[in-house]
């Protein structure tokens, strides 16, 4: 001990305290993306499998380490003890330590396979089907039953199974809302499925979980679990057409004009990429018909506020490196007008 203290640097002496702090940090906080507090059937399945395997690991640890410690003490050398007898092989032991792990593996394999089947993405016929399309770097959601298209924030009702049918228009992404359950790859040219039944109302954070380019970390999502009546209200709200230009105030009318203007050649225009139902028909970027009713923009990285919108419009690639939305050299006057107009799209 003295040796250690004399030789070690002060940094090394702090190491145990530092480790303790790092471990303790893991004990607090809200953990919005923790998989350890699931709130949907998929998550419960995975959690229960995790617990089964954990307790088997505890049994193996206790038996192996307990046996080791017992043997070390029981058969240690004592003063005057005779030379141990030489032995070789024990059929009973060999059979026991081959059979026991094999049995443990069976007890782990059966629930594992059952869980894999249960979370494969199949959903009952009455499930709510939502098409998910992965883009670099945002999520598109289509509710075909209701003729609604939205982005990044997906609303679902509490207590009803949701079937996500997923594909990608560019590279491989992965859809993941940790509190609902596991992740699933979203692949170009293929359809993959994930299904779960959320049981708690609230906003749940998610994230693309497959490296998909420079802004992979900025490809976030929110899952809003609404009560069934709130969900119906949201559907009705989303089905409303945007306000007509004549009903807007002067600033918002100016924003409408900026949004629908065809800008100089070589410059990009908003209308080339974005849909606002009945106003513009671009398809490359997110549908903005109800952008003002979302809580976030830009793949869930900026709050949907006047400041957030303005920051995004001024220079998208500074907020989200590699963003396909170009900087179209808007003047500050145009930015304010667009903010006023987009905020009316609720």
Here's the x/- map for ligand CUA, 126-145, by CB under 6 A: it reads as --------x--x--------
Q: What is the DSSP letter of 292?
A: G
Q: Given the complex with ligand CUA, which of 172 and 201 has the nearer CB atom?
A: 172
Among 177, 176, 198, smallest CA distance to 186 is for 176
Among 199, 203, 204, smallest CA distance to 162 is for 199
Interface with ligand CUA in residues 209-268 (CB under 6 A): 210-212, 216, 219
Q: Given the complex with ligand CUA, which of 195 and 212 has the nearer CB atom?
A: 212
* Site for ligand CUA contains 173 (CB under 6 A): yes
* Beta carbons within 10 angstroms of residue 205's beta carbon: 17
* Site for ligand CUA contains 275 (CB under 6 A): no
> Is the distance from CB of 296 to CB of 286 less than 8 angstroms?
no
Here's the x/- map for ligand CUA, 305-344, by CB under 6 A: it reads as ----------------------------------------
- Supply the minimum distance, in Å, between the C-beta of residue 212 and ligand CUA: 3
- Supply the minimum distance, in Å, between the C-beta of residue 295 and ligand CUA: 20
Q: Given the complex with ligand CUA, which of 138 and 341 has the nearer CB atom?
A: 138
Residue 47: Cβ-neighbour burial (10 angstroms; 0-12, 13-18, 19+): middle
- Supply the minimum distance, in Å, between the C-beta of residue 342 and ligand CUA: 24
Q: Given the complex with ligand CUA, which of 35 and 344 has the nearer CB atom?
A: 35
- Supply the minimum distance, in Å, between the C-beta of residue 185 and ligand CUA: 10
Q: Given the complex with ligand CUA, which of 299 and 308 has the nearer CB atom?
A: 299
Q: Given the complex with ligand CUA, which of 148 and 208 has the nearer CB atom?
A: 208
Q: Given the complex with ligand CUA, which of 252 and 325 has the nearer CB atom?
A: 325
Taking the C-alpha atoms of residue 72 and residue 144, their distance in angstroms, rounded to an integer, is 68
Beta bridge partners of 143: 148
Interface with ligand CUA in residues 178-217 (CB under 6 A): 208, 210-212, 216
Residue 124: Cβ-neighbour burial (10 angstroms; 0-12, 13-18, 19+): exposed
Beta bridge partners of 40: 198
Question: Binders of ligand CUA: how many residues, by CB under 6 A?
Answer: 9
Taking the C-alpha atoms of residue 318 and residue 308, their distance in angstroms, rounded to an integer, is 13
- Supply the minimum distance, in Å, between the C-beta of residue 300 and ligand CUA: 12
Q: Given the complex with ligand CUA, which of 255 and 285 has the nearer CB atom?
A: 285
- Supply the minimum distance, in Å, between the C-beta of residue 320 and ligand CUA: 12
> Is the distance from CB of 255 to CB of 339 less than 8 angstroms?
yes
Taking the C-alpha atoms of residue 223 and residue 59, their distance in angstroms, rounded to an integer, is 38
- Supply the minimum distance, in Å, between the C-beta of residue 148 and ligand CUA: 22
Tokens coding 315: 């220079």
The Cα-based distances of 39 to 63, 134, 180, 195, 197 in angstroms read: 34, 24, 6, 13, 9
Residues that bind ligand CUA (CB under 6 A): 134, 137, 173, 208, 210-212, 216, 219
């Amino acid at each position: 001990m003295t040796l250690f203290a004399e030789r070690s640097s002060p940094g090394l002496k702090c190491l145990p305290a530092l480790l303790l702090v790092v471990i303790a940090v893991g004990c607090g906080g809200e953990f919005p993306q923790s998989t350890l507090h699931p709130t949907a059937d998929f998550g419960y399945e995975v959690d229960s499998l995790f617990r089964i395997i954990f307790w088997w690991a505890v049994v193996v640890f206790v038996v192996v380490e307990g046996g080791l410690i017992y043997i070390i003490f029981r058969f240690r050398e004592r003063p005057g003890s005779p030379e141990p007898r030489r032995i070789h092989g024990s059929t009973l032991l060999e059979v026991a330590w081959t059979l026991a792990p094999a049995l443990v593996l069976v007890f782990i394999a059966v629930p594992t396979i059952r869980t894999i089947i249960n979370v494969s993405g199949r959903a009952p016929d009455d499930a709510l089907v939502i098409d998910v399309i992965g883009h670099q770097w945002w999520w598109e959601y289509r509710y075909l039953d209701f003729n609604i298209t939205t982005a990044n924030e997906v609303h679902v009702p509490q207590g009803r199974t949701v079937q996500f049918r997923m594909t990608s228009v560019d590279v491989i992404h992965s859809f993941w809302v940790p509190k609902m359950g596991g992740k699933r790859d979203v692949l170009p040219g293929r359809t993959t499925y994930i299904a779960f039944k959320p049981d708690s109302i609230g906003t749940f954070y998610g994230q693309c979980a497959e490296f998909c380019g420079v802004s992979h970390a900025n490809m976030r999502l929110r899952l809003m679990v609404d009560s069934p009546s709130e969900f119906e209200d949201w559907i009705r709200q989303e089905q409303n057409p945007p306000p007509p230009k004549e009903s807007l105030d002067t600033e918002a009318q100016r924003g409408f004009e900026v949004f629908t203007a065809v800008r100089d050649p070589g410059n990009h225009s908003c209308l080339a990429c974005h849909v606002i139902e009945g106003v513009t028909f671009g398809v490359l970027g997110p549908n903005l018909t109800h952008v003002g009713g979302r809580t976030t923009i830009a793949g869930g990285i900026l709050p949907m506020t006047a400041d957030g919108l303005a920051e995004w419009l001024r220079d998208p690639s500074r907020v989200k490196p590699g963003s396909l939305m170009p900087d179209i050299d808007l003047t500050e006057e145009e930015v304010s007008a667009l903010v006023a107009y987009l905020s009316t799209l609720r």
